[in-house]
Structure 1
């Protein structure tokens, strides 16, 4: 909890992250875990941390950043693929935990070729991976984040059929348990095709989606998480205007428009709007 939040609690006026604990209890989330406030104005800051606008009530930042005072803070962890800057570490010291294709070469994400897919196919691998990635999850809690986003849950769809939904859900359950024990709620990231399995089998508490309006998947997430869906749409993908996106009844109340590179407000390419 931030110093600002502690001060507000003492004065009897709690900010969104504390108030949202009541919402968590209504949704059946474990007591003591905070969800993003209903209808959160969410800023997705993975391109670099910067002071959020006054109306922002939820912020996602990388696990190496500090949380933003006075908001619900979501900590980004690449749970199922390697980060580009750690590629050589995985290849030199953890090669057996990197998924290998039929040719023996590491399997890469086609859209992000510097990211290697982690091999969640065996219980032994999942246990070891959970120890490694669990350190990042615990670091999020130590830094004062309220929840964690585990990215690339859908790596099985890019695995040349070497990984399955079951493999990744089993691994997600290990990381979610680690996060819950550290006091963090956990967001399912994408993978609409899982339906309610992410909640029921992995223990996810809410969802963060990319382009659920563009791909007509928003209703699928809402069926599982109700209003607990934070959607990010990208300006480069819009077919029409963002006003039309927000006017669609299927669009989550908490929907944010960002630029694809997620740059800061000092960059001319910066885009930040919200429904």
Structure 2
């Protein structure tokens, strides 16, 4: 499994997590009516900022921010909106995280093998009836905080050692369920990595998020999203920008280099 852009102590990166930052439902305010506005559809080439390390720093002059669902509150999202930004809500949907405030909502039966990140275990995505209400509550949180879209992480468990006999069909069913609960709440939804299933899922998702396609020589596999007029938000961690930016521009990707901790620093194409 490739790294997925979270801040975890297992890789000598300190996760500054605060349950108090943005987890109080009293701060959410009334939920917007999903039928009142169309779902946002980001177009190819939009510049973006991806910051999962703590509360958002709004200093990057870009039109799109992707930030953690739990570590930011409604006021953080509203501040970005006032500056003219669209805001994506990062949510882990494929693994249990023992440091999240809703960790106790997951039955132990759906918790699989550790996924390589401190305090995390793969989920049995076949148990849709168990996981759907949990994910609905998380997406409700994104909606109620005013986010425009969701970035669901770890949606390719079937290709990893999860402790469960997951199949590609299981993953397709789960990913489509995730897309549906986002859309039901008026949220755009992005497909994170899962390159092998892009042909089957491009119509179900509004944009893509990718890590390290240049390093692995796979960026052309994201072309179906660009051809459909949908943005591909892409990062590299070890490749210098000069090495991947020419191809990213040719393919229409929204690319930048980030440090693994996903803090404020960015080196865009």
SS in 2 for 1:129: helix
Match for residue 185 of structure 1 among 183, 188, 205: 188
Structure 2 residue 244 is matched with structure 1 residue 245: yes
8 A Cα contact 1:81 1:115, kept in partner: yes
Moved over 6 A (4+): none
- Give the TM-score, by structure 2 length: 0.75
8 A Cα contact 1:255 1:274, kept in partner: yes
Work out which of the two has the higher radius of gyration on C-alpha atoms and give 1 or 2: 1
- Provide the C-alpha distance between the structure 2 equivalents of 1:215 and 1:55, rounded to a whole number of angstroms: 29
- Provide the C-alpha distance between the structure 2 equivalents of 1:47 and 1:145, rounded to a whole number of angstroms: 18
8 A Cα contact 1:87 1:114, kept in partner: no
- Give the TM-score, by structure 1 length: 0.73
8 A Cα contact 2:202 2:225, kept in partner: yes
Structure 2 residue 85 is matched with structure 1 residue 74: no
Q: Which residue number in structure 2 is paired with residue 207 of structure 1?
A: 208
Deviation at 1:80, TM superposition (A): 0.8
8 A Cα contact 1:97 1:118, kept in partner: yes
Match for residue 174 of structure 1 among 161, 173, 177: 177
- Provide the C-alpha distance between the structure 2 equivalents of 1:261 and 1:243, rounded to a whole number of angstroms: 21
Answer 1 or 2: higher relative contact order, Cα 8 Å, separation at least 6.
Answer: 2
Deviation at 1:248, TM superposition (A): 2.1
Q: Which structure 1 residue ranges, 5 or more long, are not aligned?
A: 1-30, 100-106, 265-270
Return closer, same or farther for 1:89/1:224 CA change in 2, 3 Å cut-off: closer
Match for residue 110 of structure 2 among 97, 107, 116: 97
Q: Which structure 2 residue ranges, 5 or more long, are not aligned?
A: 1-36
Q: Which residue number in structure 1 is paired with residue 129 of structure 2?
A: 127
Structure 2 residue 119 is matched with structure 1 residue 114: yes
- Count of residues in Structure 1 that have an aligned counterpart in Structure 2: 221
